[in-house]
């Protein structure tokens, strides 16, 4: 069975939660799809620990969703 990952890199705006800012608190910076051509088990393992055939320690394991989503 294959594994597909759809997602992106986001950051929390530095002014979020202040009276001076009324925009979205989370800002999209980059979609993940340009980082790989197709299913890339090595990249998925390195980033998230999924299908890790190369035994890399994942860079971003189990991050989940922000509490203030």
- Residue 32: inside a domain, yes or no? yes
How many Cα neighbours within 13 Å face the side chain of 17?
6
pTM, full prediction = 0.49
pLDDT bracket for residue 15 (50, 70, 90): very high
From the list 44, 45, 47, the residue with the least C-alpha distance to 55 is 45
Q: Is 23 part of a structural domain of the chain?
A: yes
Classify residue 60: in a domain, yes or no. no
Domain extent for 25: 8-36
Bridge pairing between strands 8-12 and 26-31: antiparallel
Q: Is residue 45 part of a domain?
A: no
Structural domain count of the chain? 1
Does residue 66 fall inside a structural domain? no
Share of the chain above pLDDT 90, in %: 3
């Amino acid at each position: 069975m294959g594994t597909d990952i759809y997602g992106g890199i986001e950051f929390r705006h530095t002014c979020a939660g202040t009276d001076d800012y009324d925009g979205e608190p989370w800002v999209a910076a980059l979609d993940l799809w340009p980082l790989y051509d197709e299913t890339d088990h090595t990249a998925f393992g390195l980033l998230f620990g999924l299908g890790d055939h190369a035994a890399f320690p994942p860079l971003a394991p189990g991050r989940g969703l922000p509490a203030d989503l």
